Each structure stands twice: as C-alpha cells, then as structure tokens.
C-alpha cells in the first residue's frame, strides 16, 4: 500500500477579504484534510487576516517584502508537508483536491510538480468559457511537450524538489513567478505533469484591468521565457493573442455575472493586483 503523503496548502494574500472565506470553505470540505493551511499575509490592510484567523486549521504568517513571489517563498519555506499545494485567495478547490494530489504523486513517482485544470466561477456563460479554457490548456500541453507550465492558482510540488531549486528561482517583476518556477524545475531535469483531474475554479478578476494592462499581463508569459534566454516560441503567440482578442467578451461576461451577483447581494471581489508586479 502506498504511503499517504502529507500536503501543506499555501495561500499568498494581499487585501483578499472578499475572496478568502470561500477559498477556506472549500478547504474545510476536503475528503482528506491537509496537514496544514498557511495563509501568507503580504501587507494586507483590510480584514483578510481576521477572516482567515476564524478558521481553526489556518496558520497565518507574514511576509513584509511586497510581491506574490516573496509571499510564495515564505509560505513554501514554512511548509512541513512532503507535498506543497499552492493556490490563490480566490481559488475554490474541489472536495477531493488533497486526495487527488496524494494519489497523483503516489502513482507518478517521477513527477516533481503538477498543475491542474481551471474553471471560472465569475463569468456568465461559464460552461462555454470553461470548455474554451480546457481546449486552450490541452493545446498548450501538447505544444509544450516536455516543457510544461505551472499555474499558481492550482498546483503542487514535492517539497524536496522545491528545496533543490529554491535559490535558482528569479525575484523579478514583469514575469510570471509560477512559469519561472516551472522553467527552473525543468532546467534541473525535474518533470512536471498537467493533471486535469486536479480541479479548481478561480475568479476572472484580471479583466477588471484595462485592455492594455490585460494584454501586458498575458504577454508576460512569453516575456518570462525570453528572460530565461528561451526563444519566444511561435506556438505560444496564437494562444496568447486569442486570449487577448477575447478580452471584450470576457469582460462583458464578467460584468454580467457581477451585476447578477450584486442583485443577489453577493460582494464583488474587485480589482486584483497584478501578481507579476511587486514593490520590493
């Protein structure tokens, strides 16, 4: 019988009082409880920490250096589990999320990290957008082949493998820290797997930004690879520009959902700080 792997869940937060409760509620519903849940407070000025502290299974730590990459690193350093799960404050994980992570890492001993499927809980016509996203991710998985990406909203990594590349990862603005992590893992010959059975949903708050800011955020994907001396792969651009072209429809669908949510007195999660930027 395979050994049950312990799982730590890390959640970097910055002013997430409107999102964190739903995220933690989804963790509370897990079929197998994680070893620990670490919320990393990255200088929040709202009630995020007070809300998180109401959950008995949550440990709150602070990271004074502003930026999700710093908060992530602090959380990973504090983790005690053999597997580190990483999600965002607006992520809602499936009830078998921890169980699926344990199963996947037990069955695939050669895998160092994995990234799961993403759905959206914040848009009208979400079934269409979820299907479109699944097709896009399948395309990226096929195009990348041995060079898989990680998505910080729904990923997990072996703590021992994180320890082996911790000092190699980049501390820089204008790149995606989760993509950067994937690149450094694979440069060290670690394997990453795309696991659609690891399910989670997120809020599409990035479309609250202007089209220009949204475009910049999306193109950080190719910029991350370029920063590492990788060619700006031709296969990446059709997917990225397709996402950018969908911005008006995505924003319209998001605003429709927000209007419907407001009529039901559900709070808007508001503008999300671009995770590829930081102060320090």
**Which residue did the predictor score with more confidence, 128 or 55?**
55
Q: What is the pLDDT of residue 168?
A: 92
Work out the number of other CB atoms within 10 angstroms of the CB of residue 102.
Answer: 22
Residue spans of the domains in the chain: they are 7-206
Chain-wide mean pLDDT for the chain? 87
Are 10 and 86 within 8 A, CB to CB? yes
User: What is the C-alpha to C-alpha distance for residues 193 and 101, in angstroms, rounded to an integer?
Assistant: 12
CATH architecture of 7-206: Alpha-Beta Complex (3.90)
- pLDDT digit string (tens) for 25-81? 999 999 999 999 999 999 999 999 999 999 999 999 999 999 999 999 999 999 999
Is the pLDDT assigned to residue 182 strictly greater than 60? yes
Q: Which residues pair with 111 in a beta bridge?
A: 191
**Which residue did the predictor score with more confidence, 108 or 275?**
108
Out of 63-72, 143-152, 157-166, 169-178, pick the least confident. 143-152
Is the pLDDT assigned to residue 147 strictly greater than 80? no
Out of 154-168, 176-190, 241-255, 261-275, pick the least confident. 261-275
Give, in degrees to the nearest 5, the angle at Cα 47 between 92 and 205: 45
- pLDDT digit string (tens) for 187-222? 999 999 989 899 999 988 888 889 899 888 888 887
Out of 137-146, 151-160, 172-181, 209-218, pick the least confident. 137-146
- pLDDT digit string (tens) for 80-122? 999 999 999 999 999 999 999 999 999 999 999 999 988 888 7
Q: What is the pLDDT of residue 218?
A: 83
Q: Which residues pair with 10 in a beta bridge?
A: 38, 86
Q: What is the pLDDT of residue 278?
A: 56
* Average pLDDT, integer, range 218-231: 77
Distance of CA 134 to the CA centre of its chain: 16
Q: What is the pLDDT of residue 58?
A: 99
CB burial readout 50-74, b (16+ within 10 A) else e = ebbeebeebebeebeebbbbbbbbb
* Average pLDDT, integer, range 166-171: 92
Q: What is the pLDDT of residue 112?
A: 98
Q: What is the pLDDT of residue 263?
A: 44
């Amino acid at each position: 019988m395979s050994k049950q792997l312990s799982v730590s869940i890390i959640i970097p937060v910055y002013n997430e009082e409107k999102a964190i409760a739903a995220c933690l509620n989804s963790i509370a519903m897990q079929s197998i409880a994680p070893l620990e849940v670490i919320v990393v407070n990255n200088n929040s000025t709202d009630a995020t920490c007070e809300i998180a502290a109401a959950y008995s299974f949550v440990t709150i730590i602070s990271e004074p250096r502003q930026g999700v990459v710093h908060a992530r690193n602090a959380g990973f350093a504090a983790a005690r589990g053999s597997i580190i799960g990483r999600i965002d404050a607006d992520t809602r994980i499936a009830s078998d999320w921890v169980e699926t992570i344990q199963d996947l890492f037990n069955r695939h001993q050669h895998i160092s990290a994995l990234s799961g499927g993403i759905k959206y809980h914040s848009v009208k016509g979400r079934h269409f957008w979820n299907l479109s996203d699944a097709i896009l991710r399948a395309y990226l998985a096929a195009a990348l082949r041995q060079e898989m990406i990680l998505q910080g909203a729904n990923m997990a990594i072996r703590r021992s493998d994180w320890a082996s590349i911790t000092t190699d990862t980049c501390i820089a603005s204008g790149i995606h820290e989760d993509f950067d992590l994937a690149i450094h893992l694979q440069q060290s010959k670690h394997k990453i797997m795309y696991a659609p059975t690891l399910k989670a949903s997120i809020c599409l708050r990035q479309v609250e930004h202007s089209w220009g800011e949204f475009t910049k955020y999306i193109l950080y994907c190719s910029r991350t690879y370029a920063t590492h001396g990788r060619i700006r792969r031709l296969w990446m651009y059709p997917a990225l520009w397709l996402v950018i072209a969908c911005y008006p429809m995505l924003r319209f669908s998001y605003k429709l959902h927000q209007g419907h949510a407001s009529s039901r007195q559900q709070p808007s999660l508001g503008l999300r700080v671009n995770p590829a930027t930081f102060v320090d």
